[in-house]
Amino acid sequence: MAEKVAVVTGSNKGLGFAVVKGLCQKFKGIVYLTARDEQRGRDAVEKLEKLGLKPKFHVLDVSKEASIKKFADFLKTQHGGLDVLVNNAAIMKLEKLYPDYEGAKRNIDVNYKSLLKIEQYLFPLLRDNARVVNVSSACGHLSNLKNSKWLERLQDQDLNTEQVNHFVDEYLDSVKNGTFNKEDFADEGKHAEHRVSKIAVNALTMIQQRKYYDRNISINAVHPGHVKTDMAQGGGELEPDEAAKVILYLILDASQNLKGTFMWHDGKLVDWYDTEGDYYYKC
């Protein structure tokens, strides 16, 4: 039987690094730490090796299709498949509450649209009974949205990827042409680009779960809490090792029957469709 393989994207520091560390300690198989910068990735591996852990490293830039394809080809050749995938790589620029079009597009390209390419190239490698965790945030809950047209679309139980892409593109068009409306979002639309990207991630999670249900693959989204990372710029509440616990739970301990859910950092399953709930991100 082939040895099990786990991959964590964007894992040379912060939350991703903590997840790799936890997997190296508890996962019975090979763990890949990935990063877009080779030197930073190898430095991260060296830190873990000094703790007696043995992750493997591979370059992966989720914003570049060629990089994703190259990694997928490597995994197929070396291992033939994949058992755990943690989609952690993400960006958020805190200095602008209302970014320009290029800033908004960059956020969405990395945080959401990269997952479409990851699904294209890495999901075919998922073995039966695999587990996928899409790292989201409080920004990903539907209570971040107030636009009734978008809400109706995203609450459709037959929602598809094309419809999610249309929602994302409508937001980007509004930023580009100057029709962006703060009232379409909670909290005066601050960091609407991040809310849109993470709502799209959660919606995609539900769609992916429907696609892969018959192979008993568990795909869930998680809000790991406000983590002390470079993105939080000192505003985070949780240390990465603490925040990683909920992700490690979904990979190592949760029932395989837990599918298509949105888990809060405390392990609570949150109703993603509760548009009146107090789950939205507050700047």
- In sequence order, what DSSP letters do the residues of 61-109 get, joined into one string? -TT-HHHHHHHHHHHHHHTS-EEEEEE------TT-SS--HHHHHHHHI
All domains of the chain, ordered by start, with CATH? 5-96+115-142+201-270 (3.40.50.720)
How are strands ordered across the β-sheet holding 5-8?
56-59, 30-35, 5-8, 82-87, 126-135, 218-222, 262-263, 269-270
Strand partners, 263: 222, 269
Confidence of residue 230 (pLDDT cuts 50, 70, 90): low
Which of 98, 111, 91, 105 is CA-nearest to residue 231? 91
- pLDDT score at 234: 42
| Sequential DSSP letters for 164-179 | HHHHHHHHHHHHHHT-
- How do residues 143-195 score in pLDDT, each as one tens digit? 999 999 999 999 999 999 999 999 999 999 999 999 999 999 999 999 999 99
Neighbouring C-alpha atoms within 13 Å toward the C-beta of 244: 22
pLDDT of residue 115: 98
pLDDT at position 24 over 60: yes
According to the model, what pLDDT value does residue 94 have? 80
102 CB-near residues (< 8 Å, 6+ apart): none
Query: Among 115-119, 157-161, 227-231, where is mean pLDDT lowest?
Result: 227-231
Give pLDDT, residue 228: 77
